[in-house]
Amino acid sequence: MGSGPNQKRQQAALGTDIQQENNMKRVATLLATLAVAAVPAFAQDAEWETEGLSDDAITIGVMGPFSGNASSYSKALVGMMAYYDKINEEGGVHGRKLVAVQEDTACDSAKGLAAAKKLISQDKVFMLQGNSCSGVAVALRPTIEDAGLPWIVAHAVSDSISDPLAKNIFHGVPTGRANGRAMAAFVLSKPDTGNVAIIEHSNDWAHSYSNPAREYLEENGVTPSLELIMERGQTDATAQVLKLRQEKPDFIIAALYEAETAIFLRDLKKYGMGDVPVMGTAGTDLENTLKRTGDFDTVKNYYVIHSYVDNLDGPLMKPWGDMIHKYNPDEELSTFSFVSIGSAEALVAALEAVGPDLTRSKLMAALEEVRDFDTGILSDPITWTPEDHQGVKGSAVAGFVDGEPTVLKAWGQPY
């Protein structure tokens, strides 16, 4: 073999090629390693089944808006955690305490996702329960569905959180659709109601009530005779009321915020229509509306969705209020304070049913066996089946009867 300059150059070139090839291999190996490391391992093995579980504790991730401008919604989780405290004081479930790990979503989808990922991958909680703010809950759905751990939605109402069905997501409060249908069902429970008008805001919040209400009416052979818009911030409803006066409806469905509801009711009375009953949403409160109008005659025929078995200060709600105050003495009770207790009761019942040999899959199977579960606080029972995880299908209604706020099952039927 010669060793001329050409051969040296060839050897050098060959050496460079080999070096480049080696470098390429190293880069490829590094990239492959990175790619493998990048794939999250959500293998649902035995370890996964009991993650967040110990002999004496079940860790439950509780997400809610504990900061930010929607933090008042975090009151919705107070009742649920007071119920955990009550169960713990009674010895827990099969000897295990319910340990809540709270994370703030600030009612913001990015912060909510961070909270969910922290609870799932860092705190490694056994399950999740809670969530106000439907937008955040909708954004969380793909992440939690992929993670596979049980999640009971205890406050947010958007139907798209739990529909289409996800194996591990359970809705423990009436959804927007359930409330809308409950509004229409109450309207049609009034004898001889065939002429129904709808007035609403032109936003999605209003449509989330009016669309299912309209659907229920049409299923029962009633087409709304008049559909009107009253925009947010409007301070006068004369035009709408005059149209309604021509149509003479038997009942009016009003998907309006509380301020506009008060204006609408005031104008109804002003134009001599104060005797026409009006069905409002869960976004309004009977007594608050009375305070806003300052005139009982304007609200005497006003009815609102009310998810509970009694008035907040009624005897059936008193034990629950006492329970909340026992563990949170300074808590000022509102409608929100009680909303998540029912789903916490259903959870505890399912945990009891599973027995001491608890796994995530067993819990989800037990949740799917919950049928007509009477919580003693929600007006309607909870039923979860393998085909339907939207557990609460209806809601009661509150209205003034003989001048007193009264919870009603149907027209003229106290709860």
What residues make contact with other proteins under the rule CB under 8 A? 33-35, 37-40, 66-69, 102-104, 107-111, 113-115, 117-118, 120-122, 135, 138-139, 142-143, 146, 158, 160, 203-205
Are 230 and 201 contacting, i.e. CB atoms less than 8 angstroms apart? Answer: yes
Give the distance, in angstroms, between the CA of residue 133 and the centroid of all CA atoms in the same chain. Answer: 7
Tell me whether residue 332 or residue 402 sits nearer to other proteins (CB atom): 332
Token pair belonging to 384? 């979860």
In angstroms, give the least distance from the CB of 301 to other proteins: 30
Burial class (CB in 10 A: 0-12, 13-18, 19+), 16: exposed
Q: Which residue do the tokens 């609102």 mark?
A: 304
| 97 versus 124: smaller Cβ distance to other proteins | 124
Question: Min. distance of Cβ 218 from other proteins in angstroms?
Answer: 22
Residue among 71 and 195 whose Cβ is closer to other proteins: 71
Nearer to other proteins, 167 or 270 (CB): 167
Where is 170: in which H helix or E strand? strand 169-171
Going by DSSP bridges, is the β-strand pair 226-229/196-200 parallel, antiparallel, or unpaired? parallel
Distance in Å, CB of 67 to other proteins, minimum: 5
Please, what is the minimum distance in Å from the beta carbon of residue 39 to other proteins?
6
CB 129 within 8 A of CB 156: no
Considering the complex, state which of residue 204 and residue 352 has its C-beta at the smaller distance from other proteins.
204
Beta strands in 172-323 (DSSP E): 196-200, 226-229, 251-255, 278-280, 302-306
Q: Residue 383, by phi and psi: left (phi above 0), alpha (psi -120 to 50) or beta? A: beta
Residues shown for the chain: 415
Nearer to other proteins, 34 or 46 (CB): 34
Task: State the minimum distance, in angstroms, from the CB of residue 328 to other proteins.
Answer: 13
CB nearer other proteins, residue 160 or residue 238: 160
Least CB distance to other proteins at residue 123 (A):
9
| Nearer Cβ to other proteins (1/36) | 36
Closest CA to 306 of 330, 334, 335: 335
- Phi/psi of residue 272, each to 5°? 75, 20
For residues 86 and 76, give the distance between their C-alpha atoms in angstroms, rounded to a whole number.
17
Per the DSSP assignment, residues forming a β-bridge with 373 are 382
